[in-house]
Amino acid sequence: MKKFCLALDLKDDPELIRQYEIYHKSENAWPEVTQSMLDSGVTAWRSIAPAIGSS
């Protein structure tokens, strides 16, 4: 199984990070995005975020 990783840096702003986390919860995903991933062969995905303030 191939694995891919995407990484990004968020601004060090707790409110913006909170909003980002809400928007990116799986239950908030647009059905079209989820379907596109499935159509592309992606069968599993997960998000891992460090705690706010960690380095």
Using alpha carbons only, how large is the chain's radius of gyration in Å? Answer: 13
**Cβ contact 10:20 at 8 Å:** yes
Q: Is the pLDDT of residue 30 over 70?
A: yes
Task: Give the DSSP per-residue string, 12-47.
Answer: S-HHHHHHHHHHTSGGGS-HHHHHHHHHTT------
What's the pLDDT band for 11 if we cut at 50, 70, 90? confident
**Cβ contact 10:17 at 8 Å:** yes
- In this prediction, residues 2-28 reach a mean pLDDT of 85
Q: Is the pLDDT of residue 49 over 80?
A: no
pLDDT of residue 32: 95
Which amino acid, one-letter code, is at 49?
A
Q: Is the pLDDT of residue 35 over 90?
A: yes
pLDDT of residue 50: 62
pLDDT of residue 15: 93
